[in-house]
Amino acid sequence: MNCPHCQKELALDPKIPFRETCPHCIRDLHCCLACHFHDKGASNECRESSADRVLDKEKFNYCEYFEFAKKTISGQGVDPVLEAKRKLAELFKK
């Protein structure tokens, strides 16, 4: 797990409490930017259709659907479904 703000590696339980902060940069971890469902291209920037709208994606929130995103070494979240769709689109591109 990496902090969505400073990108430093975190040694925390994946069940992030609502008010948890990064020990390195002291910014909120239970926020949209750190969530598996965060997607700038989706409605309200969230792929979870039942989630409430959150205006500030960098601040903590009380979303019950929050799941800390799996991160690559570069700190970018990788959604296996979206990655597979991207690869298929490239394969069949004319």
pLDDT of residue 15: 86
Structural domain harbouring 65: 1-94
Count CA atoms closer than 13 A to 26's CA, side-chain side: 0
How confident is the model over 65-90, as pLDDT tens digits?
999 987 543 445 555 666 677 777 77
How confident is the model over 5-19, as pLDDT tens digits?
998 988 888 788 999
**Window from 1-10, 25-34, 58-67, 77-86 with minimum mean pLDDT:** 77-86
Domain count across the chain = 1
pLDDT of residue 14: 77
Residue 7: is it exposed, middle or buried by C-beta count within 10 angstroms (0-12/13-18/19+)?
middle
Query: For residues 46 and 78, which has the higher predicted lDDT (pLDDT)?
Result: 46
